[in-house]
Amino acid sequence: MRVQDKTIIVTGAASGIGRAMARRFKADGAKALILADMDADGVAGVGRELDAFSVPTDVADEAQIKALVATAEAAHGPIDVFCSNAGVIKMGDEDQPDAEINLCWQVNTMSHVYAARAVAPGMAARGSGYLVNTVSAAGLLIQVDSAAYTMSKHAAIGLAEFLAAKYNPAGVRVSVVCPQGVRTAMTSGRLETPAAVDGMIDAEDVAAAVVAGMDAEQFIILPHPTVADYMARKAGDRDRWLRGMARLRERLFAGEIKQ
């Protein structure tokens, strides 16, 4: 699907990957952009820059996602593309507080459930639409320094696979965007991040990969192509791959990994 002439919602649009996608969609001729973020001032600024609607929204709250879609449809008609992109990370192991695990679950996983509930049936009825969910390479592999992030992003992949199997026959496409390290607010100040082992890229690089992946209607969009090799290694020999993950954790906590 080309983004030209499409009506597109982007969540997490005040910053980073969401803002870069919004800018790219605008440059590529989207008909209407509806930008959502819990950072009301930030998303209003991006909205002014792009002449787009901005709607303060907490994506962890289903009522707010419903209201976002209702506002967007009242102004612009049916939604062609829903980019469910807002996300959070909390570092820690399996003993990190339930509140942090639940926050990652709500923002990184349930927000995609709420988006699908709000727009996918209408897309299927029209025979066209696109759910673009920003997940992470951590959803395909793991995030060795965050159990909560790993769990929530793995679940997001499972959900997207379910949605693709359900809705692709009705003409609704689903993609998961799975970068490793991207220079955004999420990674700034974290000098040691396992996602940086293959180099950090810019949010604009992710936006370019998203547009290309949507054109090709690929389920998995990999801004870092090397992730495909890691997926193959994981599928080929899970025990060997886990030994590699253990070594990566050791290097990370020994301070050997820098951006």
Ligand X SMILES: NC(=O)c1ccc[n+]([C@@H]2O[C@H](COP(=O)([O-])OP(=O)(O)OC[C@H]3O[C@@H](n4cnc5c(N)ncnc54)[C@H](O)[C@@H]3O)[C@@H](O)[C@H]2O)c1
The set of catalytic residues is 149
Measure the CA–CA gap between 140 and 244, rounded to whole angstroms. Answer: 15
- Which CB atom, from 48 or from 240, has the smaller least distance to ligand X? 48
- Please identify which residue in the block is written with the tokens 């983004």: 3
| 191 CB-contact burial (10 Å; exposed 0-12 / middle 13-18 / buried 19+) | exposed
- Which CB atom, from 30 or from 186, has the smaller least distance to ligand X? 186
Least distance to ligand X, CB of residue 15, Å: 3
Least distance to ligand X, CB of residue 239, Å: 26
- Which CB atom, from 85 or from 150, has the smaller least distance to ligand X? 85
- Residue 96 contacts by C-beta under 8 Å, 6 or more apart in sequence? 90, 146, 147, 148
| Residue 18 · residue 45 · CB < 8 Å | no
Nearest Cα to Cα of residue 209 among 175, 165, 161, 184: 175
Measure the CA–CA gap between 167 and 218, rounded to whole angstroms. Answer: 14
- Which CB atom, from 124 or from 245, has the smaller least distance to ligand X? 245
Footprint of ligand X on this chain (CB under 6 A)? 11-12, 14-18, 37-39, 42, 57-60, 85-88, 107, 134, 136, 179, 181-182, 184-187, 195
| Residue 172 · residue 190 · CB < 8 Å | no
Least distance to ligand X, CB of residue 161, Å: 17
Least distance to ligand X, CB of residue 73, Å: 19
- Residue 76 contacts by C-beta under 8 Å, 6 or more apart in sequence? 7, 31, 32, 34, 53
- Residue 186 contacts by C-beta under 8 Å, 6 or more apart in sequence? 16, 87, 88, 89
Least distance to ligand X, CB of residue 149, Å: 7
Work out the number of other CB atoms within 10 angstroms of the CB of residue 44.
Answer: 16
- Which CB atom, from 3 or from 38, has the smaller least distance to ligand X? 38
Q: Pull the structure tokens for residue 157.
A: 């992949």
